[in-house]
Structure formats: C-alpha cells, structure tokens
Structure 1
Amino acid sequence: MRLNEITFTDAKPVEGYGPGFFRIGGEVIVGGMLTGPTGTVAWAGYKDVAPLVALARKVDVLFIGTGADTAHIPAALRAQLEEAGLGLEVMSSPSAARTYNVLLSEGRRIALAVLPV
C-alpha cells in the first residue's frame, strides 16, 4: 500500500462542529461560517449573498449546509448563485462539512457555507 500526504492548499479542513459553532484551522467560529480558498469568515446566512457570489470564478462547487437537517435554500439565493456560475450542493451542515473535507483533500476548487447545527 502506498500512503500519500494530504495537502489542503491554502484552504483548511473543518476540524469539528457542535451546537452553534465550527472549528477550522484551530479557530472556533460561532454561528454560520464560510470557508474556502479565500479564507474563513463568519457567514450571516442566506441573506449574506455577496461573499458567496465573490467566489464565482474561484471555486467550481459551493457546498451549502442548512443546519442539522437538509432543507431547501431560498429560490432567489439559488438563482443568484447559479447565475454567477457557481455549482451548488445543498445538504445538512454535518454532511456538507464531511464532503468538503474529502474533496478538499483531493485538491478540488470548493468552498463551504454552513449554518450551525
């Protein structure tokens, strides 16, 4: 068996999450979070569209975590993000964080916007 070292480029993997918080790169983010190639910042949720649209040419897929359960995102938000050229995957926040980590380890151009569980 051959083992390869995983490199997360400039983006950092999600290290953990719990009620109301996420931990990434050793830092705890309380509330929603956006992370990807441009760094990690607090995210105010579905009405905070500008930082998501800014990722349009920097990532191929944006994972949106909807909290503890999978839910639909607002139709207007989906339309704005798709119009900007972002591929979207919507799922629960735990699933989105796990999927983000796996694809990040493969060197994919991805970002993650998650609401707390």
Structure 2
Amino acid sequence: MKLHADKPTHLNIFTGYGADFVSVNQQRHGGSVLVGPTTVAPWRPISFADLQEEDFTTLLALQPEVVLLGTGSRLQFPHPRLSRALLQAQVGVEAMDVSALCRTFNILVAEDRRVLAAVLFS
C-alpha cells in the first residue's frame, strides 16, 4: 500500500509498505529496520521470535519517548521482560502490525514527537 504525505518534509515518513518491506521517503527497506524522525538503520533481530532484551536496551541510546514495535502482518506482544529497560526509563512501547505502525509513526512525526519505529516482518 502507498501512503502519501500532505506536504514535503525533511523528516522521515513511511510512504509505503508490503509483506516484507517498508518505504521511507520513497526508499524501500527490507528486513528489520529502525526508523526515527531523521534516521534509518538496520536492526539486529531477524524475526519476532529472535527478539532479546538487548534489542530493546540498545534503543535507549536513540532517546525515544515512544517505541512503535511493528510485528509483521499480525499483532504480537513481546514478553514484558524484553522491554523492561524501556519501561523503566519511562519510554512507551506499543506493539502493532506494520500497517498500523506506518500510519501511527507518520502522525507522531507530524506532531514533532520523538518516536522510533522498530519494524519486523515475521
């Protein structure tokens, strides 16, 4: 599905997604990826089942106020021990499917929030 911004921006926005990719500012990314308002980087876990505590702990260095965890085409919730470091730092963690993640991220970025999208596809 394609998503369109109301106006051009210097910030990252999701412009499309599919079963195994997301597009950020028209640039296609496959595999696990972290997307912030001004950054895009690969992310270590290759699947939801591969998530470890360290994967969430490393996100603290990016100083998000909220992390959107995209869990592929269906919603899955990580065990609370995995995201404990974020919750202790008072960083919100919201799990959702990738389509909801893309829409939510774009809204939060437009509101100048420090949002971080952590995208997985399986």
The runs of 5 or more residues in structure 1 that have no matched partner are none
1:14-25 to 2 correspondences below 5 Å: 14-25=14-25
Runs of 4+ that moved beyond 3 A: 5-9
Q: Distance in 2 between matches of 1:104 and 1:38?
A: 10
- Are 1:67 and 2:72 an aligned pair? yes
Letter in 2 for 1:34: L
CA–CA distance in structure 2, aligned partners of residues 51 and 38 of structure 1: 17
Match of 1:33 in 2: 33
Q: Which secondary structure does the structure 1 equivalent of 2:23 belong to?
A: strand
Q: Which letter maps to 1:60?
A: E
Aligned amino acid, residue 42 of structure 1: P
TM-score, normalising length: structure 2:
0.76
Residue of 77, 81, 91 corresponding to 2:86: 81
Partners of 1:21 and 1:37 lie apart in 2 by 18
| Unmatched runs of 5 consecutive residues or more in structure 2 | 1-5, 46-50
Cα RMSD, aligned residues only: 2.1
Percent identity of equivalent pairs: 31
> How many correspondences in the alignment?
110
